[in-house]
């Protein structure tokens, strides 16, 4: 039998561990004080209408009283990297403290010595496949390839990739949101179809995806037009394969005219992820670290979700009941994101090589 003393000791230990776990999930008072002393954070390439960034920035400023100097909201990932390079010895307002870039720019920036390591307190809840093990960069949010469907026209909504081959339901209906010979969104859609066919090797998945779209085209279902919100509404591309955040945004902007449903397929759920990093030359390194703590806190993660970009900790937040029900109601079922696959850069390149070079010969549909 366990004695009362042993039970009390066990309970005390459990409470201590629980308290420690909560404490670990918050930035230290020392970091907060050091960041406030710096007083400013310089960001770049964060338009307010992208992933809810307007509210995220406002939330950070309100919580910590730190000014945010916003550089070039419309810059691309390459521009962000160049801004770090151009301001290595500059501590003025043109030197970015933090960057938010496409996945490929994380490892390359690390290799060039342009970013510094920092592990946020919620580090363990970020999937291992979406972060640098040393903490130089880490995934922040992602989208998954989904079916964006005009339900005025398509009454039997597809639930998985194989459904798209049914000519009796989806004749002249299926489009990609880009040219698979050039667009990453379209390339990843073809790759996802290959994974859904059962291939796990990246190059073979690319080949399987091409074979799948050849069948869709042969069935008379593929529309060789780049699908957009307008073509979705007009009905010329009533099913578009696109990132879910694009589809959800289209749905809201169309406001029921026509009604739109966004479906995450039952298999082949491929995620495209962006990453965060701190400049190795950040003029405000503590403010930069505090910004990262805020972004990866529950509050910051939900801020991105409001903008329909799935935060990297999404599954963890759902599991722990942290996502408000009204927010979940605006999204495809949370369980459909549990199967999301985050292809590595090597896997993406292997799949891309097959898809971009063989689309014409295998599928034979010139997307315009």
Tens digits of residue pLDDT in 235-273? 999 999 999 988 998 999 899 999 999 999 999 999 989
For residue 131, tell me if it sits in a domain.
Answer: no
pLDDT of 360 reads: 87
- The reply to whether 43 and 164 lie within a common domain is no
Non-local (6+) Cβ contacts of 317 within 8 A are 298, 301, 302, 311, 323
For residue 7, tell me if it sits in a domain.
Answer: no
Residue 305 has pLDDT above 70, yes or no: yes
Residue 7 has pLDDT above 50, yes or no: no
DSSP state of 92: S
Judge contact between 102 and 276, C-beta under 8 A. no
- 243 phi and psi, to 5 degrees? -60, 140
With H, G, I as helix, E, B as strand and everything else as coil, classify residue 196: helix
- The reply to whether 110 and 186 lie within a common domain is no
pLDDT of 2 reads: 38
The number of distinct structural domains making up the chain is: 2
Residue 15 has pLDDT above 70, yes or no: no
Give residue for tokens 């578009």.
240
Residue bearing the bigger pLDDT, 182 or 31: 31
Q: Which two tokens stand for residue 93?
A: 């307002």
Of the ranges 8-22, 93-107, 148-162, which one carries the lowest mean pLDDT score?
8-22
Here the CATH number for the domain that contains residue 263 is 3.40.190.10
Phi-psi region of 148 (alpha: psi -120 to 50; beta: other; left: phi over 0): beta
For residue 137, tell me if it sits in a domain.
Answer: no
Residue bearing the bigger pLDDT, 177 or 283: 283
- The reply to whether 149 and 201 lie within a common domain is yes
The whole domain housing 205 covers: 143-270+340-362
For residue 220, tell me if it sits in a domain.
Answer: yes
Residue bearing the bigger pLDDT, 43 or 171: 43
CA distance 366 to 274: 29
pLDDT in tens, 153-169: 999 999 999 999 998 88
Q: Which two tokens stand for residue 335?
A: 């369980």
- The reply to whether 205 and 150 lie within a common domain is yes
For residue 166, tell me if it sits in a domain.
Answer: yes
For residue 133, tell me if it sits in a domain.
Answer: no
Non-local (6+) Cβ contacts of 25 within 8 A are 121, 122, 297
CA distance 315 to 290: 23
Please compute Rg for the chain using Cα positions: 23
Residue 20 has pLDDT above 50, yes or no: no
- The reply to whether 264 and 276 lie within a common domain is no
- The reply to whether 152 and 299 lie within a common domain is no
Closest to 340 in 3D by CA, of 363, 361, 307, 318 = 318
Residue 180 has pLDDT above 90, yes or no: no
Judge contact between 320 and 125, C-beta under 8 A. no
Q: Strands (DSSP E) along the chain, which ranges?
A: 40-44, 67-71, 98-102, 115-116, 138-150, 174-176, 239-243, 260-263, 271-279, 310-311
- The reply to whether 225 and 285 lie within a common domain is no
Burial class (CB in 10 A: 0-12, 13-18, 19+), 218: middle
CA distance 244 to 264: 8
Average pLDDT for 186-209: 91
Helix (H), strand (E), coil (C) string for 8-68? HHHHHHHHHHHHHHHHHCCCCHHHHHHHHHHCEEEEECCCCCCCCHHHHHHHHHHHHCCEE
- The reply to whether 288 and 352 lie within a common domain is no
- The reply to whether 73 and 94 lie within a common domain is yes
Closest to 191 in 3D by CA, of 174, 173, 179, 203 = 203
Residue 3 has pLDDT above 80, yes or no: no
Of the ranges 112-116, 198-202, 215-219, 312-316, which one carries the lowest mean pLDDT score?
198-202
For residue 134, tell me if it sits in a domain.
Answer: no
For residue 288, tell me if it sits in a domain.
Answer: yes
- The reply to whether 86 and 175 lie within a common domain is no
- The reply to whether 70 and 202 lie within a common domain is no
Calculate the average pLDDT of the chain: 89
pLDDT in tens, 42-89: 999 998 888 889 999 999 999 999 999 999 998 888 899 999 999 998
pLDDT of 25 reads: 65
- The reply to whether 293 and 319 lie within a common domain is yes
């Amino acid at each position: 039998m366990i004695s009362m003393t042993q039970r009390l000791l066990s309970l005390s230990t459990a409470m201590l561990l629980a308290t420690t776990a909560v404490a670990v999930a918050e930035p230290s008072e020392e970091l907060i004080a050091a960041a406030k002393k710096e007083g400013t954070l310089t960001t770049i390439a964060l338009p307010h209408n992208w992933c809810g960034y307007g509210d995220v920035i406002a939330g950070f400023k309100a919580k910590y009283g730190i000014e945010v100097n916003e550089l070039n909201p419309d810059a691309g990932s390459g521009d962000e990297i160049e801004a770090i390079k151009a301001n290595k010895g500059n501590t003025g307002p043109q030197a970015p403290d933090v960057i938010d870039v496409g996945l490929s720019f994380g490892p390359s920036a690390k290799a060039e010595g342009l970013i510094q390591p920092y592990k946020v307190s919620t580090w363990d809840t970020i999937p291992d496949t979406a972060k640098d093990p040393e903490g130089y960069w880490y995934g922040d949010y992602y989208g998954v390839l989904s079916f964006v469907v005009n339900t005025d026209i398509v009454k039997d909504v597809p639930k998985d990739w194989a459904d798209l081959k049914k000519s009796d339901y989806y004749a002249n209906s299926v489009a990609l949101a880009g040219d698979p010979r050039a667009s990453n969104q379209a390339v990843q859609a073809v790759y996802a179809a290959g994974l859904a066919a059962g291939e796990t090797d990246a190059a073979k998945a690319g080949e399987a995806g091409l074979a799948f779209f050849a069948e869709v085209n042969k069935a008379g279902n593929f529309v060789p037009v780049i699908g957009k919100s307008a073509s979705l509404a007009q009905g010329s591309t009533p099913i578009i394969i696109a990132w879910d955040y694009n589809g959800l945004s289209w749905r809201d902007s169309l406001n029921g005219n026509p009604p739109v449903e966004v479906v995450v397929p039952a298999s082949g759920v491929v995620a495209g992820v962006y990453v965060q990093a701190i400049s190795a030359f950040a003029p405000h390194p503590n403010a930069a670290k505090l910004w990262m703590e805020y972004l990866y806190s529950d509050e910051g993660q939900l801020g991105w979700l409001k903008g329909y970009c799935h935060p990297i900790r999404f599954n963890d937040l759902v599991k722990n009941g942290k996502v408000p029900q009204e927010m979940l109601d605006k999204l495809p079922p949370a369980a459909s994101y549990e199967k999301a696959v985050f292809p590595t850069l090597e896997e993406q390149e292997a799949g891309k090589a097959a898809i971009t070079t063989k689309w014409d010969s295998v599928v034979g549909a010139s997307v315009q």
